[in-house]
Amino acid sequence: MGCGKTTLGKRLAEHTGFAFLDLDGYIEQKYLKTVATIFAEMGQDAFREIERKVLSEVADFENVVIATGGGALLFR
């Protein structure tokens, strides 16, 4: 958290001409709740499952730089 994924992702997207997508922001738009609210209401395990599913969904997008949360590294 706070290591610059969004900042670097936006710069890389601009440099390559690709779109930029922040996975947490995408989740918040899709579920109409903040990540903090999802954590509070459903717990970390449920959030990680949502994150896994959404990451699988956006992995099919083309010409996009995706900033993932740190938990995304937990998935195979």
**Chain segment 30-49, per-residue pLDDT in tens:** 999 999 999 999 999 999 99
Number of domains in the chain: 1
User: Predicted confidence band at 76 (pLDDT cuts at 50, 70, 90)?
Assistant: low
CA distance 40 to 33: 11
CATH number, domain with residue 11: 3.40.50.300
pLDDT at 3: 77
User: What does pTM read for this prediction?
Assistant: 0.84
Closest C-alpha among 12, 9, 33 to residue 22? 9
User: Predicted confidence band at 75 (pLDDT cuts at 50, 70, 90)?
Assistant: low
Contact between 20 and 65 under an 8 Å Cβ cutoff? The reply is yes
pLDDT at 60: 92
Q: What is the mean pLDDT of residues 49-53?
A: 92
Question: Could you count the other beta carbons within 10 Å of the beta carbon of residue 61?
Answer: 12
Range of the domain at 19: 5-74
